[in-house]
Chains A and B, each alone.
Chain A
Amino acid sequence: MPLRLRNTVWFEYGLTLVVFGAVSLLNLWLESWIGYQAIALVYLLAVVLLALFVGIGPIAFGTALTALAWSFMFAPPRYSFQIGSFYDKMMFAMYFVVALTVAQLTARLRAERLAERKREERASALYLFTRELAAAADRADILERVMNHAGRVFTADIGLLLPADPAGTRLILVPKSTWHLNDSEKEFAARARDQNQAIGGIPGESAALYLPLTTGGAAAGVLAIRLKSGAELSSDQKDLLENFGRQTALVLDRQRLRDAETNTRLLVESERFGRTLLNSVSHELRTPLSAISAAAATLRDSGGLNPIQEKLSGEIEAATFRLNRVVQSLLSAARIQSGQVRPNLDWCDISDVVRATLREFGTALTKHRVEKRLPPGLPLIRADFALLQQALANLLVNAAAYTPEGTQIEVSAQRQGTELVLEVCDDGPGLPTDQIDRMFDLFHRPPGSRPGGTGLGLAIVKGFTEAQNGRVEAGNRPEHGAIFRIYLPIPEAPNISEEPA
């Protein structure tokens, strides 16, 4: 308690009263030696000295008190407030003016010294805070240090509320908060954030302050503080806290940017690693394949082989072709899985895609009758020609592999609303109905499917189609046979300025 009293105004008045009481007693004793006029100088000295320690209010009070005491006890006629001689009256007035002037000057000096000390204290508190944050390793560490430091400096419970997600409107309490806000307190925090201004001194609520953390733009979060004493924060404390808040927001912002940068770098590095790996695997597998197929072809073309040797070289070529397709599928699937598919979307004529695919993969379809239905006037779409061709080729090769020789495979394209539908129908046994939903899954192979095959083909169809903003669908025809569809969005027709006829 005495410690608290020291800083109050009442203490200063009390001190003034005591000091001047003592000086008056001293003066009563001194008077016989120095005369009643010099007594005024002793009082003046006391006023000046006291002004170094107390405010202007108590000094003015003391000055009035001592002036009255002098006129009552010392100036003749004694023991009355009347002052006899003109000289003494002048003395009384001058005493007032001099004492108050000196006290005023001294008080100003003192106030400046006090302000200086406060500034120093705040600067050093802020410096310590900044140093504390600078040492933080990551976001969680920053938050913990903010709460610990502010809690220590203000002797308070701290709650930090931050958005649940980057775009989030909902604030959640940081787990290590020392003040676990209840729902209505969280309401205040949210309001402080939304209005982007500190809320405090709410009647009927604890003397808490909700300070939005902002770097100038919208508030990132809210710092809620409640002094352990239960008192309200003084304006100085609010000031300091606001500085803490700004600093915290800045550091959080910087950390967010740093995190984003780190993530981007990691992503780029892992992508580059994936690409390099794919490229080197692709090269290492395809080079020997090239050698084998070239060797087999040259062997066959060199002539002079007996029928068995000729058959064997044909087998080598066929096996190489198949192995190459497997390598191609594996690499495609790996590209899809690692997000390395970069479709080069450009205007495409779907009829052209179908024709080019049939031309290139015709050899795999020779045992089936392939019908194509391409109505004239199909709109251009935006797609990656090569990816779309691979997707279609997989559907065709798939159809050929799962249907009896000699049956029909039908490929068609048509407009359906805002989409272009590319369709491959076969005349085979159709898909097991309970498996239809999983047909496009990676490595999914329906029970009873033919031996061989990687289970990659349809997954690649799906991956490549979706990379081009399309979707896939599988099903059975009402009669018999399976049906696979690729849907691609039809963009607004491209601008083509016609030449003069």
Chain B
Amino acid sequence: MNSENRQLPVSVLVIDDEVQIQRLLTIALEGAGYRVSTSGSGQEGLRTIAHHRHDVIILDLGLPDSNGLLILKQLREWTQTPVIILTVQDGEAEKVAALDSGADDYVTKPFNTAELLARLRASVRRANQGQSSEPIFTLGEMKADLAARRVTLKGEPVKLTAKEYALLRLFILHAGKVLTHRHILREVWGASHENDTQYLRVYLMRLREKLEPDGAAPPLFLTEPGVGYRLAEGG
């Protein structure tokens, strides 16, 4: 991917009604080697996306002309281009709604540029990889072989129940991506359980006990307050 990168810069579309944010993101992202175009409104953004190919879209949820969420839904009807949402700190419900409507990630305003760049890189990488074809996933001391359904920690095999494994597998397939509570519950426990957060809390506790026994090490499972969980990215 790095070799591709050098030939063709990754193109980013910023949809934000604040001209100052547009300017700053342009400077910051161009400085990091992206090709940047901007749109001041959701409708204009939709038109731009229809005519030009973009690798990733940064969308401010608080657009004046129409709700950013609506733009996101319209967009998702015909394109799977990764979308990163800009949102405010108290907007947990908004974040969840955006993620459930197909956003790939979110960054809270006022955002940290380094964090935004990291999220951008991860989103583009995931989009290019598609569904991970690599059966072996390594993260810190943990190694998971999805083909053999075997998980080891520091070389020692870890015994997981069927549901624990299903949960871990879902995280691994979407490593680095935020998964909302509802999404995880639906995938692992079925649609009838999509509001039963207690399952998720209990099973995550168990997974952490088995896979993060050493509290000091960087955690594998990151909690996104009020939104969901994210698996740290593999390396």
Contacts and interface: CB of A to CB of B under 8 A. Distances in A.
A and B bind: yes
Interface of A: 282-283, 286-295, 297-298, 301-302, 320, 324, 328, 331-332, 335, 344, 346-349, 351-353, 355-356, 359, 372, 376, 380, 384-386, 389, 494-496, 499, 501
Nearest to A300: B113
Contact of A297 (B90, B112, B200, B201): B112
B113 A294 contact: yes
B127 interface: no
Contact of A347 (B89, B111, B163, B197): B197
A293 B109 CA distance: 10
Interface in B11-31: 18, 20-21, 24-25, 27-28, 31
B191 interface: no
B223 A344 contact: no
Given A385-B226, A499-B161, A499-B163, A294 B24 contact: yes
Contacts of B201: 347-349, 352, 380
Contacts of B199: 496
A496 B198 contact: yes
Given A380-B198, A494-B196, 11 more contacts: A283-B88, A286-B109, A287-B109, A290-B21, A291-B18, A291-B21, A294-B24, A298-B24, A346-B197, A359-B222, A386-B90
B154 to A, nearest CB: 21
Interface string B201-215: 110110001000001
Contacts of B222: 356, 359
Interface string B121-139: 0000000000000000000
B226 A384 contact: yes
Contact of B202 (A297, A301, A380, A501): A380
A287 B20 contact: yes
Contacts of B89: 286, 328
Contact of A385 (B27, B28, B114, B225): B225
Nearest to B181: A346
B85 to A, nearest CB: 14
A352 to B, nearest CB: 5
A290 B109 contact: yes
B24 A355 contact: no
B162 interface: yes
Interface string B20-58: 110011011001000000000000000000000000000
Contacts of B163: 499
8 contacts: A283-B62, A287-B20, A291-B20, A292-B110, A293-B110, A293-B112, A293-B113, A294-B111
Given A349-B204, A380-B202, A499-B163, A301 B31 contact: yes
Nearest to A289: B110
A332 B199 CA distance: 31
Contact of B204 (A298, A352, A501): A352
A175 B225 CA distance: 56
Nearest to B23: A291
Contacts of A286: 88-89, 109-110
A331 B202 contact: no
B1 interface: no
A349 B198 CA distance: 9
B102 interface: no
Nearest to A376: B209
Interface in B215-232: 215, 219, 222-223, 225-226
